Homo-oligomer: A and B are copies of this chain.
Amino acid sequence: MRFAARVEVRLRPGIADPEGATIERALPALGFEDVSALATGRVFRFEVEAATEARARERAEALAGALLANPVLEEASVSVCSLEA
């Protein structure tokens, strides 16, 4: 069965986010003084071929931990859903 997986990689709390800080600093001058606490991250979407949803999640978590996130600086959250009818 095919599953769609989505991995969101964020910086761990306390790790500096210079891109987010730069955007946030620019917001008031650009008319967005109502926006705060901006943080950036990366997202990876892919398909996994697996027998069960539990197995697909396991594989997506393995990929996230091994290749997509740097566990020293980042944390990953994984969601999986079936692509079959």
**B-chain residues with CB within 8 Å of residue A15 when the two chains form the complex:** none
Any B CB within 8 A of the CB of A38: yes
Cross-interface CB contact of A34 among B23, B24, B35, B50, cutoff 8 Å: B50
Q: A17: shortest Cβ distance to chain B, in Å?
A: 10
Closest Cβ of chain B: how far from A49's Cβ, in Å?
Answer: 5
**How many copies altogether?**
2
Output the residue of A5, A40, A62 with the most chain B CB within 10 A.
Answer: A40
Bound CA span A8–B10, Å: 13
Q: Given A30-B67, A67-B23, do A46 and B37 touch, yes or no (CB 8 Å)?
A: yes
A-B complex: 5 closest residue pairs judged by Cβ atoms:
A38-B46, A41-B43, A37-B47, A34-B49, A43-B43
